[in-house]
Chain A
Amino acid sequence: MTEPLRPSASASDHAPAVAPDTAVNGVPDSAVAGELRRVLEQVDGVQKLYPAHPVWQNIAGAAHAAVTGEAPNPVAVDASGDVVTVKARIGVATGHRAPDVARAAAAAVRARLEPRRCAVEVAVVHIAG
């Protein structure tokens, strides 16, 4: 029960998130996650994104990633309900205040998804010295 993402008029600095062959009724969560990843990486003070669900916790996960060559998706998106939930773990760059960057990151995601109702979780897992 997903609604298509309305293309953002202000999103002139990056390519459209939706690939031509995605579902008509909804944008796959993975595409939204990729789009939000780009949004987050451009927030001032965000140094990098960390895996939302670390696969390195077990050898099997690490072996799988080594075989497929895929990096784990840093942004977890669930658009299956009325409220889109977004989870991201970020590293904050030197010279920035972590609480401010966390707020800026959540605001950037919220702005990108507008007017969809969303619940954004941002966790700062690393602060550069």
Chain B
Amino acid sequence: MSTPNDTLDCGHTLAELSTYLDTGEFADPGHLNQCPECQAGLAALGSISALGTDLRDADIAAAGSGTDDWMQSILDNLRLELRPGRSIPVRGGHADDILSETEGAISAVIRSVADALPGTAAGKCRLHGDVGTPGAPVTVSVDLAVVYGHPLEQRAAELRSQLAETLSQQTELNITSIDVTITDILAPPPSADRTRTTPEEKP
């Protein structure tokens, strides 16, 4: 079904050009470069698309900022529950008791240790192995983003060392290795009092 006046003199339709703009598919690709009607049609559709982008930008500007009250109210309403993950056993004082920690709680601990190091932020954290069986070997993997200029190997080593200590206090897991993978280098945040090009770190 085509719209009246939709067909160009060359036989192709604006509908075909519309699909071409979205998908890059066109039955007769060589024709496009040579046909002024098709070129004019593409220009018209492109112009509408550009205007649509302008409308979208105007609507986004009118939608306010993500830090406004409307978003805060939505986030409050969400009442996000903690995502628990697997259950990690803790030795109980009595035979009838079942004590545990959630994998989600431990992931959050790993993230907070990483976030507390200067210029770093944790990405995905994982506990590998059978965390549900006491004494079973477990390895930890952490994705890390480091701000450009911070010493990568040093940060990774600091993280491994601090995680080993913190996890031995907060869990009874048998952690056999901690793997830190640096997945992102982040641009340094703009800072008015930054006088050095790269931060110096004492060993």
Q: A residues near B, CB below 8 A?
A: 50, 54, 56-57, 62, 83, 97-99, 102-103, 106-107, 110, 117-127, 129
Question: Complex: how many Å from CA A120 to CA B109?
Answer: 25
CB contact list, B7-56 vs A, under 8 A? none
Q: For the complex, is B187 an interface residue (Cβ under 8 Å from A)?
A: no
- A57 and B99 contact, CB distance less than 8 A: no
Chain B, interface size category, equals 20 to 34
> For the complex, would chain A's binding face be called helix, strand, loop or mixed by DSSP majority?
mixed
B90 & A102 in contact (Cβ 8 Å cutoff): yes
Residues in chain B near residue A106, CB distance under 8 A: 92-94, 97, 99
Which residue of the partner chain B has the closest CB to A123? B100
CB distance from B31 to the nearest CB of A (A): 53
With a cutoff of 8 Å between Cβ atoms, the chain B residues found around residue A54 in the complex are 81
In the bound complex, what is the Cα–Cα distance between A123 and B101 (angstroms)? 5
Given contacts A103-B92, A106-B92, A106-B97, 15 further A-B contacts (CB under 8 A): A56-B79, A83-B96, A98-B105, A98-B171, A99-B99, A99-B171, A99-B172, A102-B99, A103-B99, A106-B93, A122-B97, A122-B98, A123-B101, A127-B109, A129-B116
Asked if B161 lies at the interface with its beta carbon under 8 angstroms from chain A, I say no
Contact A119 B171 (CB under 8 A): no
